[in-house]
Amino acid sequence: MLLFYHRALSAVAYEPAWQQILPLDRTWLADLEQRPWQSSALPLVSMAWEPLFSAVIRQYLLISLYRATVESLASENAARLTSMQAAEKNIEDRLAELNAEYRQQRQNAITGELLDIVSGFEALNQA
């Protein structure tokens, strides 16, 4: 059984990833056996090997699914956030352009009215 998901590389980048869940990867188990135990005392196991191994494998499957889900959601939300930030910047740029255009048209209208007033005044003075 293979599990496909998206893994976040950074706040703005992600990549597709996969993990083989079942059957268990024998190299992973061998690497796990070769790792040194981190404390000076080994854990005492008071139950039979089969139920313990079964419980550990169930937890491993649950954690693998949970991790894939969380990483996929984080990647999706990072992509959404990046998209929304780009949209916000585009809106701000467009708003600045529209405000500049409005100010230019307003200035042109004021200039036109002033020219009408001045030309009317000149016409009255010449008459």
Kindly tell me if the per-residue pLDDT of 28 is higher than 90: no
d(CA 89, CA 103): 21
Mean pLDDT along residues 1-8: 90
Residue type, 123: A
pLDDT tens-place string over residues 98-114:
999 999 999 999 999 99
For the entire predicted model, the pTM comes to 0.65
SS (H, E, C) the chain: CEEEEEEECCCCCEEEEEEECCCCCHHHHHHHHHCCCCCCCCCCCCCCHHHHHHHHHHHHHHHHHHHHHHHHHHHHHHHHHHHHHHHHHHHHHHHHHHHHHHHHHHHHHHHHHHHHHHHHHHHHHHC
Mean pLDDT along residues 46-53: 90
Give the pLDDT of residue 37: 85
